[in-house]
Amino acid sequence: MEDECYMCDAAATSKEHAPPESFYPKGYRSNLIKVPSCAEHNEANSKDVEYVRNVISTQHGTNGAAARIFEKTKRSFDHSPKLAARTFRDLKPVMVEGVETGAFPVDLARHKRVIAAIAYALYFHNYRKKHRGDWRIFTPSFGYAGSVHRGEFDPWEWFRGYVESGQYKPMPVPQPEVFRYGLLEMEQGQIIYRFEFYERVVVMAWTRFMTFAPLATIWLPGR
C-alpha cells in the first residue's frame, strides 16, 4: 500500500523530518525522525521554518548546537540585513538571569504553524495514524511582553507552571541536544507534548480538551 502524507490524505512523495532538518546543525543529522509527506506538507524549504528556527536558536541560554545554527544564520543575515531586521524587529535590551540580552516580539502565527506541523508529524510517528484535530500551542520559554519590558504582572505565569508540572514520558530521540520531547496521555485520547529545543526552549502542544482532577474539564486558552 502506498504511504499517505502524515497530515492529509494525499499520497506521500517524500519524507518530512520532525522537527525539520534545518533545526539540526551538521554533525547532528543522523537517524532523524522522518514521516511520509506530500509535497505541500513537506516544510523542507519553508521560510516559516527558517524564521522559527532562527527565533528558537537565538534564545538566551540555548546550547552549543544552537550556537552552530546561529553561526550559519549570522552568515545569511550578513547577506540579507533585511532578513535580520525582520526576524529581530523591535529588538530591545532586557536583563535575563542577571545578564543583558535582547528581547523581540515573536510572530506567533508563524511559530504556531511550524510547531503544529512538528506535533502532527510526531503524532503520526508515535501512533501510526493522523491526528485529525488541531493543536493548541503554548511556549513557556517566551516571555510576556508587558512583564519583559515594563515589569508588569505576567498573566501567563500560573499557566507556565501548570503545564510544566505534568509527568511527561520521555520519548526516544536521535539528537537530544537539538530536540527532545515528552508525552502525556490524558483521558479520551487527548495528549500533551512537551518539546524542548537546544536544551532550553520549551514549547507545549496539546489536543483540544484537557481534564484535570479535581478540576472539571477546562478550556485552555490558546495563545
Q: Grid coordinates standing for 60? A: 538566551
Answer yes or no whether residue 38 interacts with Zn ion by CB under 5 A. yes
Distances (CA, A) of 170 to 57, 193, 217: 22, 10, 25
Q: Grid coordinates standing for 88? A: 529581530
Residues 153, 150: Cα–Cα separation, whole Å: 9
Closer by beta carbon to Zn ion, 41 or else 160: 41
Closer by beta carbon to Zn ion, 121 or else 210: 121
Q: Which of 33, 34, 36 is nearest to 1 (CA)?
A: 36
Exactly one of 17, 41, 111, 112 binds Zn ion (CB under 5 A); that residue is: 41
How many residues appear in the chain? 223
CB of 18 to Zn ion, least distance (A): 14
Closer by beta carbon to Zn ion, 41 or else 194: 41
CB of 31 to Zn ion, least distance (A): 24
Closer by beta carbon to Zn ion, 38 or else 49: 38
Answer yes or no whether residue 7 interacts with Zn ion by CB under 5 A. yes
Answer yes or no whether residue 12 interacts with Zn ion by CB under 5 A. no
Evaluate the omega torsion of the peptide bond into residue 214 and state whether it is cis, within 30 degrees of 0.
Answer: yes
Interaction site with Zn ion (CB under 5 A): 5, 7-8, 10, 38, 41
